[in-house]
Structure 1
Amino acid sequence: MRTWAIACCLVGLPLTLAAQTEATLDKVKRNGSISVAYRESSIPFSYLGGDAKPTGFGWEICSKIVDRVRASTGRDLKVVTQAVTSQNRIPLLQNGTIDIECGSTTNNSDRARQVAFAVNYFYTGTRLLVKAASPVKSITDLKGKTVVSTVGTTNFQVLRKVNAERNIGFELLGAKDHAESALMVQQGRAEAFGMDDILLYGLRASSQNPAELAVVGDALQVEPYAIMIRKDDPAFKKLVDDTLAALMQSGEFEALYKKWFQSPIPPKGINLNAPMSQELRDNLKALSDKPAT
């Protein structure tokens, strides 16, 4: 009876514990599949294209990581795609629902206590999306106005902190995703949307009338983006880091950057015209996974 009880309890172990005790490469080899997470509106990192399938800069890099996982495990793995949001991406990674997240997640010290990050592959800063005719040109112009940001992002926290420290006096609202945040500005329900500038450029470019929107203000802070994986899994982190290092050292990473940031991209063929930052150029050599403070 006692043996049966122990077996029963093991079967009933929460998925979180299972994810913590089994290495990712062992898990995907056993299952014959890998679960890859994407964002629905994080242009151009990962988003839904015209065919309603994930696409983007981060998504394409993750596809190359999956190819290396296939070679490592010796299995023709099935790729299971999973949409995630700013709020659920970390819990879904921790509990084993997803194995890797390919989006626009900031690598910071707080998150590094919960998950692991690969080599940083982008650097960005919080700026504002407003209507082109808006008088708002900087964060200080927001006194008495309504600002929106996406719940679960570092940007929401930065805006709340800056509002308090500088005593600006704007009302900060939360939206479930970037698309909803942008829509609130377009519909006049918020004066500005505070988010990573590259995502704002992407949302502006994909809107029905890009000329009606503008990205304004100085960056409130500069932070790195990185692909997110489970914590305490050195073999999988090495595989992901090695894949990124090979792309960066061969020049293929720069080619992908030009494809997604300096060329027409789907679904509307608009060019973001975003040059590579000096921070990112430096990291093509440094290969650092250092988090933002």
Structure 2
Amino acid sequence: MTQSNLDRRGIVAGLALGAALFAAGAQAQELTGTLKKVKETNALTIGYRDSSVPFSYLDGDQKPVGYAMDICLKIAEAVKKELKLPGMEVKLNPVTSATRIPLIANGTIDLECGSTTNNADRQKQASFTNTHFLTATRYVSKKDAKLHTIDDLKGKTVVSTSGTTNIKQINEANTAKSMGLTILPAKDHAEAFLMVETGRAVAFVMDDVLLASLMAGSKTPDAYEISTEALSKPEPYGIMLRKDDAPFKAVADAATKALYESPEGKALYTKWFEKPIPPRNINLKLPMSDAMVKQFKSPSDSADPAAY
């Protein structure tokens, strides 16, 4: 081979190497938002709640556990794979209902894992990945009262917690259906449930998942039942992330979609809602609603209750 051919081959090889290095550099520069932050720090931070049973709460060892926590760890695994960071650290940071949105917005946490409602107002401040739970306003009553439908409540005394959307909904239903209800306001959820326990009211109107938790923690859980009929449209809960961060949301959406559509998604739901959970081994006995079954078959991040 002549010297000129060798020179030409050297130039071509050099150009190829330069192009490869440029492409790698460009790819690295393309990372934005949360993915860039995680790549640079080799860490992703999960915000958790300390008492949002069974979504995100502290177990007997003061370790954050729960249904939403398990989902967030799946998202973390997907981020680790996407960024090729086998040693990526998952940090945990406590949040409250008051701090969760500010801490997402200022970058302190990257995912908020709890029971946060995805609605139009919050969409202005944050984004949400695919819905992981649908709650609705229902009522708990004693099984022997046989109050199976909302019409069965006609003329009876019910209770709901003061200042909630739930008490507003039962008042609206009372007026619209001319039910003749006596509606008692309770100062908190515990007082409202106690009214049903002691017979001062036949039913307590509230979010079904909260009713399930109160029922499971009562002295005689099997004495109560939650209505199948709802007084509201489904309310979606979602894992919250920063607004206007499409690349990170795409990773979270893909990870949650794959989870919910797989048998593992149903198994995860069963683990937290239909089996004893730590630390007290209470069982919420809350099987998937028809809306939840539909949501897991075709995952959506919609904030519109009508979408479910």
Give the TM interval when normalised to the shorter protein: 0.7 to 0.9
Relative distance call for 1:211 and 1:69 in structure 2 (3 A) is same
1:16 aligns with none
1:87 aligns with 98
The Cα of 1:242 is off from its aligned counterpart by 0.6
3-state secondary structure, aligned to 1:66 = helix
2:34 aligns with 24
**TM-score normalised to the size of structure 2?**
0.69
After TM superposition, the structure 1 = structure 2 runs for residues 272-291 of structure 1, keeping only pairs within 5 Å, are 272-291=284-303
After TM superposition, the structure 1 = structure 2 runs for residues 21-60 of structure 1, keeping only pairs within 5 Å, are 23-60=33-70
Identity of aligned residues (%): 40
1:234 aligns to 2:246 (yes or no): yes
Contact 1:37 1:81 in 2 (8 A): yes
Contact 1:163 1:169 in 2 (8 A): no
Relative distance call for 1:157 and 1:28 in structure 2 (3 A) is farther
Relative distance call for 1:187 and 1:283 in structure 2 (3 A) is closer
* Match among 138, 148, 169 for residue 161 of structure 2: 148
Aligned residue type for 2:236: P
* Match among 55, 71, 87 for residue 61 of structure 1: 71
Contact 1:42 1:199 in 2 (8 A): no
**Alpha-carbon distance between aligned partners in 2 of 1:82 and 1:128, rounded to the nearest angstrom:** 34
What is the root-mean-square deviation of aligned Cα atoms in Å? 3.5
Contact 1:119 1:241 in 2 (8 A): yes
After TM superposition, the structure 1 = structure 2 runs for residues 96-107 of structure 1, keeping only pairs within 5 Å, are 96-107=107-118
Q: Please say which of residues 55-64 and 215-224 is displaced more in the overlay.
A: 215-224
1:159 aligns to 2:171 (yes or no): no
Larger radius of gyration: 2
The Cα of 1:202 is off from its aligned counterpart by 2.2
The Cα of 1:23 is off from its aligned counterpart by 0.8
- 1:116-162 per-residue CA deviation (whole Å, 9 max, x = no partner) reads 1111122220234679999x99787797x87436x8xxxx3353465
The Cα of 1:224 is off from its aligned counterpart by 1.8
1:113 aligns to 2:124 (yes or no): yes
**TM-score normalised to the size of structure 1?**
0.72
2:27 aligns with none
**Alpha-carbon distance between aligned partners in 2 of 1:142 and 1:88, rounded to the nearest angstrom:** 40
1:225 aligns to 2:237 (yes or no): yes
Aligned residue type for 2:246: P
Aligned residues: 260
Relative distance call for 1:217 and 1:146 in structure 2 (3 A) is same
Aligned residue type for 2:67: F
* Match among 129, 136, 158 for residue 125 of structure 1: 136
Relative distance call for 1:41 and 1:261 in structure 2 (3 A) is same
Aligned residue type for 2:249: K
Relative distance call for 1:32 and 1:147 in structure 2 (3 A) is same
Relative distance call for 1:187 and 1:121 in structure 2 (3 A) is closer
**Alpha-carbon distance between aligned partners in 2 of 1:164 and 1:271, rounded to the nearest angstrom:** 32
3-state secondary structure, aligned to 1:271 = coil
3-state secondary structure, aligned to 1:36 = strand
**Alpha-carbon distance between aligned partners in 2 of 1:277 and 1:217, rounded to the nearest angstrom:** 9
Contact 2:159 2:205 in 1 (8 A): no
1:71 aligns with 81
What 5-or-longer segments of structure 2 have no aligned partner?
1-31, 176-180
